[in-house]
């Protein structure tokens, strides 16, 4: 239970976060490259359209049969998960908790103290949950990175709870 993080305060729904399951979440991002590429604003519809087009082109060129290259790609993805350093955007969790209309800030409670951020800045946070394929057991369970990468070399560690006020 020490890896479970509470999301409390002026929210409609008090939720708990379990970083142990995020490795299976499609929203995860590679922290080795995320802050380098973060400046590019991605249009989700455009990204989806490109992905579907790529898949359609592959089926036209190679047929609908599963070629050996797909197996190789799947193996590569599995290895990436086992050796990668990943994070997940904080915004979906914040939206699911539904902060009150009069809430103004997010307080990150950690063993090292508290950090207060305006809610608008909190939406851009990234929660790091693995390093080189391993969960953050020593000083985790998550690292909190600012969305602009300003603290990527010194993230907030030993997080116990997120409190909306």
User: Over the stretch 84-128, which tens digit does the pLDDT of each residue have?
Assistant: 889 999 999 999 999 999 999 999 999 999 999 999 999 999 999
From residue 18, give the alpha-carbon distance in Å to each of 5, 127, 129.
7, 11, 10
DSSP 10: S
pTM, rounded to two decimals: 0.75
Number of domains in the chain: 1
Average pLDDT over residues 1-29: 89
**Percent of the residues in the chain that have a pLDDT greater than 70, as a whole number:** 82
Domain that holds residue 117: 5-164
Alpha-carbon span 159 to 6, nearest angstrom: 10
Alpha-carbon span 2 to 18, nearest angstrom: 10
């Amino acid at each position: 239970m020490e890896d479970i993080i509470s999301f409390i305060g002026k929210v409609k729904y008090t939720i708990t976060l379990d970083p142990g399951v995020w490795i299976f979440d499609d929203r995860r991002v590679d922290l080795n490259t995320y802050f380098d590429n973060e400046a590019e604003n991605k249009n989700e519809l455009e990204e989806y359209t490109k992905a579907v087009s790529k898949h359609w082109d592959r089926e036209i060129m190679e047929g609908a049969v599963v070629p050996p290259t797909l197996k190789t790609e799947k193996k590569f993805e599995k290895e990436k998960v086992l050796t990668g350093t990943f994070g997940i955007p904080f915004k979906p969790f914040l939206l699911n908790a539904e902060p009150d209309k009069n809430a103004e800030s997010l307080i990150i409670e950690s063993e090292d103290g508290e950090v207060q951020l305006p809610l608008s800045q909190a939406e851009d946070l990234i929660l790091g949950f693995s390093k080189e394929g391993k969960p953050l057991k020593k000083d985790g369970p998550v690292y909190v990175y600012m969305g602009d990468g300003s603290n990527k070399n010194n993230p907030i560690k030993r997080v116990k709870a997120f409190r909306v006020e």
